[in-house]
A and B are shown apart, each in its own frame.
Chain A
Amino acid sequence: MKRFSWFNATSLTLGFAFLYLPMIILVIYSFNESKLVTVWAGFSTKWYGELFRDQEFLDAAWVTLQVAVFSSTIATVLGTMAATVLVRAGRFAGRTLFSGMIYAPLVMPEVITGLSLLLLFIGIGLDRGIFTIVLAHTTFAMCYVSVVVSSRLTSFDQALEEAALDLGCTPFQAFRLVTLPIIAPAVISGWLLAFTLSLDDLVIASFTTGPSATTLPIKIFSAVRLGVSPEINALSTLMIGIVTIGVITASLISKRAAVAQARDERAAARTA
């Protein structure tokens, strides 16, 4: 504790001010009456009203939500399969290529991922829209999921699975009854990560979409290219609010679960 000097206190204060002030300012200006975003003309919620009357935004939000739900769910299934293969399958032909294809999308610039998928979709004559964005998002999100899940898979005792098999489980039952409950927190955080990545993606969605489907980031990007807009401030405030509530709730739930687990373990230790 003695090393926690005024220097450390200042770094933390300035650091968190830097991280949070821009978003706080954005939130404040979303309640600004004036159309000129930089002149304060009194408190108003009119931009939220405008936002909810703007059909284009509502449509874009709906498209984004659909894409995020489908792509993150498929990505979670595929990513968990891929993680199981990486950690449990041992040697097989083409293993190096497989792990290369899992890790490469993580460092691939988005412009290249987007460009290459678009060229594929055009090459095979697929109509671009929600479906192609889902394919694109699933592909890069499954790699993130598999990294998250495989780190959990490596750290738990494989003997538990073997015991289940010895006791007469089929491999699928062993996975469902033993492995899945243990890795469930990692699978859930993988899904959440995939979901946020999809909600957030501008570049890959811009390349792989067609005229029929505009996602929220595409809409926001084209609106703010020309400058700051109060409607976008209102939309951003809503998104920041949802994320903050979500993250805080998730951390409270996991904290409570950890406390409950510690209590159960203590109780088990006493009875044993």
Chain B
Amino acid sequence: MRKAFLIAVPYLWLLLLFLVPFLIVLKISLSDIALAIPPYTPTLDVSAGWQGIREFFAALDFENYVFLTTDDLYWKAYLSSLQIAGVSTLITLAVGYPIAYAMARAAPEWRPTLLMLVILPFWTSFLIRVYSWMGILSSEGVLNQLLMGLGLISEPLQILSTNIAVYIGIVYTYLPFMILPIYAALEKMDESLLEAAEDLGCSRLSAFWLVTVPLSKSGIIAGCFLVFIPAIGEFVIPSLLGGSNTLMIGKVLWEEFFSNRDWPVASAVAIILLLILIVPIVLFQRNEQKAREAEG
């Protein structure tokens, strides 16, 4: 009886506020847009009984999904989101790996402090961290003033409102997600393995490639997915740092809903985005599973 109560409360909460809303999105994505409130048809009319339910299902169709394939904007936005997320993930890895490596090699009494310094930005507002780059990258911003002061450039570089600013924003805000799993993998590593490799005639560099990198593989993969998956659906970074030609699907969905008020198309955009995300999420879980099995 108590157990039933314990299960029922969170279960019902999630059913009502996670699953049902999701089914509503699915349903609206199959509906037609209408000039009404709410702005779509058909609405389920239960009072009409069986007839109402039949009419409801008969009126559902894949029109919005067909529309998504006919308008360039959408598939370009999906591709460009994947591309921006992919490139930023690789840059984050290149920036994060040396930091994680150095942390794992630091004296043990320093490690907790270094770890806290990596986690601290995560507790500060995401929005503020993105915003902090606006003052740096704008045409009269700190970076341009510095470069012009040094005489490296004669007129300001346009960085804010371009994709470069979006890359910087993603790398900056998601860097802790990359550092932490790589650090966790490297910290467990037995350093005598490196000495053994060097004794056996490996150079430092090849010992790094042949021993350290393979041993931190699960951390690298986990870090990459932790950056890549949320970056695809990112909204704040492209809308503050990107320009009008920065296409990302999170921004398209937002505009479709708030500016165009086309709920059925916004819902269809959301469903396709989820379908795209399933692949990396499944791969990520498989990696986690493998890492757990290797440990246990």
Contact = CB atoms under 8 A, between A and B. Distances in A.
Q: Is the interface of A mostly helix, strand, loop or mixed?
A: helix
Interface stretch (A46-54, A84-92, A178-186): A84-92
B129 to A, nearest CB: 7
Contact of A117 (B17, B98, B123, B134): B17
Given A119-B21, A200-B127, A172 B98 contact: no
B21 A116 contact: yes
Contacts of A9: 102
Nearest to B96: A15
Q: Is the interface of B mostly helix, strand, loop or mixed?
A: helix
8 smallest CB-CB distances across A and B, nearest first, come from: A109-B233, A116-B21, A8-B102, A15-B99, A11-B98, A22-B132, A82-B10, A120-B21
Contacts of B63: none
B133 interface: yes
Nearest to A5: B105
Chain B interface residue bracket vs A: 35 or more
B222 to A, nearest CB: 13
B38 A107 contact: no
B28 to A, nearest CB: 6
Nearest to B25: A116
Interface stretch (A155-163, A240-248, A264-272): A240-248
A119 B24 contact: yes
Contacts of B118: 19
Interface stretch (B48-56, B72-80, B213-221, B249-257): B249-257
B233 A228 contact: no
Nearest to B108: A1
A38 B145 contact: yes
Interface of B: 2-3, 6-7, 9-11, 13-15, 17-22, 24-25, 28, 38, 95, 98-99, 101-103, 105-107, 114, 116-121, 123-129, 131-136, 138, 140-142, 145, 172, 175, 191, 194, 229-230, 232-233, 235-236, 239-240, 250, 253-254, 257, 263, 266-267, 270, 273-274, 277, 281
Given A19-B175, A81-B9, A101-B15, A109 B232 contact: yes
A130 interface: no
Interface of A: 1, 3-4, 7-9, 11-12, 15-16, 18-20, 22-23, 25-26, 29, 36-39, 78-79, 81-82, 84-85, 89, 92, 94, 97-98, 101-102, 104-105, 107-112, 115-117, 119-120, 122-123, 135-136, 138-139, 142, 146, 171-172, 196, 199-200, 202-203, 217, 220-221, 224-225, 227-228, 232-233, 236, 239-240, 243-244, 246-247, 251
